[in-house]
A and B are shown apart, each in its own frame.
Chain A
Amino acid sequence: MANVLDLRRRIRSVKSTRQITKAMKMVSAAKLRRAQDRAMTARPYAKMITSVLASLTRRIEIFDPETGNLRHPLFATRPEKKILLIVVSGEKGFAGAFNTNILKTSFQFIAANGDKEIDVEAIGRKAKDQMRRRYPAAVYTETIGENPADESALTIRKRERKAAVEVVGDHQGLLDKLTADKVFAIAESVIARYVHEEIDACYLVYNEFKSVIQQRIVVERLLPLMELGKQQVTEAVEPTTEEKERAGEAAISAGIALEPADTHEADEEAAKFGTSEVDYIYEQPAEELFNGLLPQYVSSMLYHALAESVAAEHAARMTAMDAATNNASDMIDALTLHMNRVRQAAITKEIIEIVSGAAAL
């Protein structure tokens, strides 16, 4: 049986673990608050782009009179043979089931689309590690061709597909310091691939985050666009009630608001952008404006998704660390009780020995 000294040491060790998890929880709570702010301040831009696009579609003939489809290539739907899957995970562990759930949903998506060619783009270190381990990287061969314009050397990149699922790229560290220009660069490359018909559709797996108790993992279609201002969620995994309760408790103890902040007024204000009931002078032809805005719309959707995912990661870590802190407290209580019992038993034993020794005299 463990003696009192051993137990005291264990308690001390668990106490210092509790200190660490508590600190991590508070750090995550602070980061979550910042991430939530960021996701919110990004809303006006996204809203404004959406509303001005919507109003442009009403004013100009961007619909093809023959097919009734929108003329822009980002609206062109093709049979989905080549899919780009963007997986947004976290950068670090210690976030409960956050990364596992994202990856599980991604693998399910890949399994469900086994007959198609899938390119995977991983955002976040955890997704990168897992995807790289499972799937081969895309192979490109570079050949030197001749530039027809001035006969200088020109490198031509060619893709050789070897497996049905290949990793085409990863973006590690992007989420640590999320800036719009980096995200916009990714979105632009995705759009270019779509326009050049290298891919027929682009899906995004990420953790949607409205508030601590309103979040879910979604598979969202980024391209082709169907309807402006609407998310094209194809799959969603809601957390269980129990998970929601735990997240809620952790949030309350860290002082995070459960309800999403009220953005109604700002949203309405933003929704008015470019939609006034007046005849605008279009500095450029409306079609040109529309074409210039569409990529920005897609980019801002991607940015928004990433900002939410970052918030969700911090929320998950906060919840996990809150649970760890509680577990440590329980363990300390149990160990303290056990230690007191052991000490009491030792004292009782000694008294018995003394009493029986005295009786024998």
Chain B
Amino acid sequence: MAEGTNKLRVRLVTPERILFEEMADAVELPSKSGYLEVLYGHAPLVAELGAGDVTVHGGGETATRYNVSWGFAEVLPERVTILANDALLPTAIDVDRAKKQLERGHELWHAAGDNAEAYDEANRVISEAEAKLASAGSTASH
């Protein structure tokens, strides 16, 4: 690794394998409490990720985007490691399935009654589906 470059080492790890490992200028993370962007020299940080897009800038020519549904990230000044349950390229998202998932989420939400746990589950399904649709939708418009 070359010293003195202001590049981050970004790794995206899924249960199945290390999906992505590259040097990048910046990375955007969908933290549970909102998006955050990490540049070289960021203070050490640990964050749980919600459903959304991980965007890596300046790795290659273009920005690389992955849709994650749950994750966990460790940020150190010179490296970022993301643990994600599932990471999809926006082009790999099955829009029909995501739509069905959204419907199912709404159904769950209605059926939840006063069961707080069921509500949380329903909200999770809904936000996951919405994030997937948003992510897939933004590639279509490019």
Tell yes or no: A152 within 8 A of B by CB: yes
Q: State whether B85 touches A292 (Cβ < 8 A).
A: no
Q: What 0/1 pattern do residues 270 to 310 of A give for CB contact below 8 A with B?
A: 00011010111111100011001100100110010000000
Q: Name B110's contact: one of A152, A179, A283 (CB within 8 Å).
A: A152
Q: What 0/1 pattern do residues 129 to 168 of A give for CB contact below 8 A with B?
A: 0000000000000000001111010100000000000000
Minimum C-beta distance from A112 to chain B (A): 32
Tell yes or no: A75 within 8 A of B by CB: no
A181 to B111, alpha carbons, bound, how many Å?
Answer: 24
Q: State whether A274 touches B46 (Cβ < 8 A).
A: yes
Q: State whether A41 touches B45 (Cβ < 8 A).
A: no
- Neighbouring A residues of B74 by C-beta, 8 Å: 52, 273-274, 280
* Residue of B18, B32, B74 most packed against chain A (CB within 10 A): B74
Write the chain A residue with the least CB distance to B74: A274
Q: What 0/1 pattern do residues 25 to 55 of B give for CB contact below 8 A with A?
A: 0000001110010000001111110000000
Minimum C-beta distance from B70 to chain A (A): 8
Stretch at the interface among A43-51, A118-126, A198-206: A43-51
Q: State whether A180 touches B46 (Cβ < 8 A).
A: no
A-B contact pairs, 14 of them (CB 8 A): A38-B16, A45-B13, A46-B15, A49-B83, A52-B46, A150-B110, A152-B111, A154-B113, A179-B16, A180-B16, A180-B86, A282-B45, A283-B48, A288-B48
A271 to B133, alpha carbons, bound, how many Å?
Answer: 35
Q: State whether A282 touches B16 (Cβ < 8 A).
A: no
Q: State whether B15 touches A147 (Cβ < 8 A).
A: no
- Neighbouring B residues of A283 by C-beta, 8 Å: 31-33, 36, 45-48
- Neighbouring B residues of A179 by C-beta, 8 Å: 16
- Neighbouring A residues of B32 by C-beta, 8 Å: 283-284
Minimum C-beta distance from B95 to chain A (A): 18
Tell yes or no: A7 within 8 A of B by CB: no
Q: B residues touching A (Cβ–Cβ < 8 Å)?
A: 13-18, 31-33, 36, 43-48, 70, 72, 74, 76, 81, 83, 85-86, 110-114
Minimum C-beta distance from A236 to chain B (A): 25
Q: A residues touching B (Cβ–Cβ < 8 Å)?
A: 38, 41-42, 44-46, 48-49, 52, 147-150, 152, 154, 179-181, 183-184, 273-274, 276, 278-284, 288-289, 292-293, 296, 299-300, 303
A46 to B13, alpha carbons, bound, how many Å?
Answer: 10
Q: Name A147's contact: one of B44, B48, B113 (CB within 8 Å).
A: B113
- Neighbouring A residues of B31 by C-beta, 8 Å: 283
Provided the pairs A48-B13, A292-B72 are in contact, do residues A180 and B44 lie with their beta carbons within 8 angstroms?
A: no
* Residue of A45, A279, A289, A299 most packed against chain B (CB within 10 A): A45
- Neighbouring B residues of A42 by C-beta, 8 Å: 15-17
Q: State whether B48 touches A300 (Cβ < 8 A).
A: no
- Neighbouring A residues of B113 by C-beta, 8 Å: 147-150, 154
* Residue of B13, B33, B110, B112 most packed against chain A (CB within 10 A): B13
Q: State whether A148 touches B114 (Cβ < 8 A).
A: yes
Q: Name A284's contact: one of B14, B36, B47 (CB within 8 Å).
A: B47
Minimum C-beta distance from B78 to chain A (A): 11
